[in-house]
Amino acid sequence: MDNQLILPCDVSQVSDGYHTFEELYEHRCLLWINLLNLIHQSEHSTETVYKTRKDDRDNEMEGWFIAALEIPGDMQLTYHLPEELWPLLNIPEMEKNLYYDGHTSKDVADRLTMMATASLP
């Protein structure tokens, strides 16, 4: 079954009536950067954060880099971010991604929810 939808416009400009996809993607990138910077600055953090231009197989994706968060339980959260955002991340740089645990977008959402739930009183 082919469920591909072709839009006769620039998809980045599609809006929900409040924000375009482009705006929401920019917000997501900046929120991720701020989260990693805050975790890195925390004296009590048990998480590891880093940025790298190479994946765990030494491959690079031109114009993009990986911003990673390693959380307890040998779990990982990563996002590819546009290269121009590299200087905003004040976190350690690694030669390559330490490992890739095969996480999916759903896994990332589940792990972020788990982190949020763990921080509730």
Model confidence pLDDT, tens digit, residues 45-66: 888 999 999 999 999 999 999 9
Torsion of CA 83, 86, 87, 89, to 10 degrees: 160
Is residue 5 included in any domain, yes or no? no
Is residue 9 included in any domain, yes or no? no
- pLDDT interval class at 89 (50, 70, 90): very high
Is residue 1 included in any domain, yes or no? no
Q: Is the pLDDT of residue 1 over 60?
A: no
- pLDDT interval class at 18 (50, 70, 90): confident
Give the domain extent around 105.
14-118
Hey, CA dihedral for 10, 12, 18, 23, is it positive or negative? negative
pLDDT value of residue 59: 96
Is residue 113 included in any domain, yes or no? yes
Query: What pLDDT digit, counting tens, does each position of 91-102 carry?
Result: 999 999 988 999
Is residue 3 included in any domain, yes or no? no
**Structural domain tally of the chain?**
1
What is this structure's pTM? 0.86
